[in-house]
């Protein structure tokens, strides 16, 4: 009878460790409020200089929907979305530690048409950003 509580305790500890997942995982959340369908999202570490594969994998993000790219290593990332009609918007130096939320609005679509996505409105970071100054600079 003494072995049963010990086994249950070990099993509970193993389940707790497996359920928490990687401790250092980070997420990028893309929220689409643009009125258009987003077909492409690319994520690249800041120092790489090349875009990885399309993170949407053929599953477009409809307007008023969102999608999550999870289990990224925390750090600095460049993000790129392709907006209709084939304009791209790049967000350089996103500090992704726990969760990073990028909301695409109709103004983002307009900025991408003029090749000026320098404004990064509606981005939210959760976690520390040790190498980035407070934004916007005052």
Q: Where residue 96 sits, what CATH number does that domain have?
A: 2.60.40.2890
Does a structural domain hold residue 1? no
Total structural domains in the chain? 1
Does a structural domain hold residue 3? no
Task: Please write the tens of the pLDDT for every residue from 50-90.
Answer: 898 999 988 899 999 999 999 999 999 999 998 888 888 88
Task: Please write the tens of the pLDDT for every residue from 32-54.
Answer: 999 999 999 999 999 888 898 99
Does a structural domain hold residue 10? no
Does a structural domain hold residue 89? yes
Does a structural domain hold residue 9? no
Task: Please give the backbone phi and psi of residue 95, each rounded to the nearest 5 degrees, phi first.
Answer: -85, 105
Does a structural domain hold residue 73? yes
Q: What is the domain range of residue 121?
A: 22-126
pTM of the model: 0.68
Task: Please give the backbone phi and psi of residue 11, each rounded to the nearest 5 degrees, phi first.
Answer: -65, -40
Q: What is the maximum span of the chain, computed from C-alpha positions, in angstroms? A: 73
Task: Please write the tens of the pLDDT for every residue from 86-121.
Answer: 888 888 888 998 889 999 998 888 888 777 776 554
For tokens 């981005």, the residue is: 123
Question: In 3-state terms, what secondary structure has residue 120?
Answer: coil
Does a structural domain hold residue 7? no
Does a structural domain hold residue 88? yes
Q: How far apart are the first and last CA of the chain?
A: 68
Task: Please write the tens of the pLDDT for every residue from 2-35.
Answer: 444 444 444 444 444 445 554 578 999 999 999 9
């Amino acid at each position: 009878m003494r072995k049963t509580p010990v086994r249950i305790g070990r099993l509970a500890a193993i389940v707790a460790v497996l359920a928490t997942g990687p401790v250092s995982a980070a997420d990028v959340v893309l929220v689409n409020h643009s009125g258009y369908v987003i077909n492409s999202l690319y994520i690249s570490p800041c120092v790489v200089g090349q875009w990885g594969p399309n993170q949407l994998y053929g599953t477009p993000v409809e307007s008023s929907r969102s999608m999550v790219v999870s289990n990224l290593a925390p750090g600095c990332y460049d993000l790129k979305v392709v907006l209709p009609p084939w304009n791209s918007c790049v967000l350089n130096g996103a500090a992704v530690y726990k969760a990073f939320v990028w909301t695409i609005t109709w103004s983002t679509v307009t900025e991408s048409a003029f090749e000026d996505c320098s404004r990064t409105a509606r981005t939210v970071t959760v976690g520390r950003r040790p190498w980035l100054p407070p934004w916007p600079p005052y």
